């Protein structure tokens, strides 16, 4: 599967206007999210070529003006059949990185790990440092690539992340939390949290053709065609499979 900032840079040129931020809502993972004007202190748990990313399609959801993301079946542009490509659903980049989120909200969840709501709003019972996943589009990961280069790795120290703007008009400013300091070793508490980080492979694993059809609300069927023309010839030399 695709990984690394070199792939991020190359892919950025191919999908200039396809920018979308946000995480998948179908898992019990804690997603790193800030509102306009909010900031947080974080400690990234991956850097460089350990960054995870993939192509996704936005699948329509009845009754909503926005869809949900489903991983494209044809990650390597080798012609693997994909219902999303065949139906010309928007195909976009999405990256994932684990981080320790200081003062992360503690959400009330049910026995299955799903968020509980009261009066239509999620319930926050407190705050504490927690491992979270930042899943976002190409703009955020372009910014992270620069930070990774400028500070010799995202894991080198704690960073302050501040959000400005809403929806597609959003910009994140990422800077060292301690402007006078240099590289910071992980504390014992941070190492303990790091051991609980999420397996990012689960967020970039392509579904089977029939599984994708089910996401579209269609009956699984035998497929004899190929992928869409948009994918052919991408030839990204930095695409690698996780083994």
CATH number for the domain spanning 91: value is 3.90.198
Give a yes or no: residue 225 inside a domain. Answer: no
Q: Which domain holds residue 156?
A: 5-215
Question: Which residues have a Cβ under 8 Å from the Cβ of 56 and sit 6 or more positions away?
Answer: 69, 70, 71, 72, 91, 92, 93, 94
Burial 8-27 (b: 16+ CB within 10 A, else e): bebbbeeeeeebbbebbeee
pLDDT at 184: 92
Residue 238 lies in a domain: no
Q: In this structure, is residue 228 part of a structural domain?
A: no
Identify whether the C-beta of residue 160 lies closer than 8 Å to the C-beta of residue 174: yes
Closest CA to 178 of 194, 156, 203: 156
Going 78 to 97 to 193 to 185, the CA torsion angle's sign is positive
- Residue-level pLDDT, tens digit, the chain, 243 residues: 556 776 665 555 444 333 333 334 335 789 999 999 999 999 999 999 999 999 999 998 888 888 899 999 999 999 999 999 999 999 999 999 999 999 999 999 888 878 899 998 889 999 999 999 999 999 999 999 999 999 999 999 999 999 999 887 899 999 999 877 788 999 999 999 999 999 999 999 999 999 999 999 888 754 444 443 333 333 332 233 333
Is residue 51, in this structure, part of any structural domain at all?
yes
In a domain, 59, yes or no: yes
Residue with tokens 């190929």: 226
- Residue 232 Rama label (left phi>0; alpha psi -120 to 50; beta): beta
Number of domains in the chain: 1
Determine the 3-state secondary structure of 6 from DSSP: helix
Note the pLDDT of residue 1.
54
């Amino acid at each position: 599967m695709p990984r690394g900032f070199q792939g991020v840079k190359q892919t950025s040129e191919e999908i200039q206007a396809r920018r979308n931020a946000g995480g998948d809502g179908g898992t019990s993972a804690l997603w790193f999210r800030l509102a306009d004007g909010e900031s947080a202190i974080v400690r990234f748990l991956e850097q460089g070529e350990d960054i995870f990313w993939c192509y996704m399609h936005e699948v329509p959801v009845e009754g909503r003006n926005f869809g949900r993301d489903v991983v494209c079946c044809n990650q390597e542009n080798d012609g693997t059949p994909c219902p999303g490509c065949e139906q010309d659903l928007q195909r976009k980049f999405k990256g994932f990185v684990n981080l320790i989120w200081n003062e992360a909200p503690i959400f009330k969840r049910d026995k299955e790990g799903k968020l509980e709501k009261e009066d239509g709003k999620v319930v926050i019972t407190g705050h504490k440092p927690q491992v979270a996943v930042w899943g976002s589009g190409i703009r955020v990961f372009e910014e992270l690539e620069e930070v990774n280069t400028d500070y010799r790795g995202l894991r080198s120290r704690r960073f302050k992340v501040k959000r400005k703007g809403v929806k597609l008009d959003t910009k994140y400013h990422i800077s060292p939390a301690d402007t006078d300091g240099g590289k910071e070793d992980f504390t014992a508490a941070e190492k303990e949290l790091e051991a609980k980080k999420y397996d990012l492979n689960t967020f970039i694993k392509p579904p089977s053709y029939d599984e994708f059809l089910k996401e579209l609300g269609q009956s699984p069927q035998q497929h004899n065609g190929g992928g869409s023309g948009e994918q052919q010839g991408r030839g990204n030399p930095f695409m690698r499979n996780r083994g």
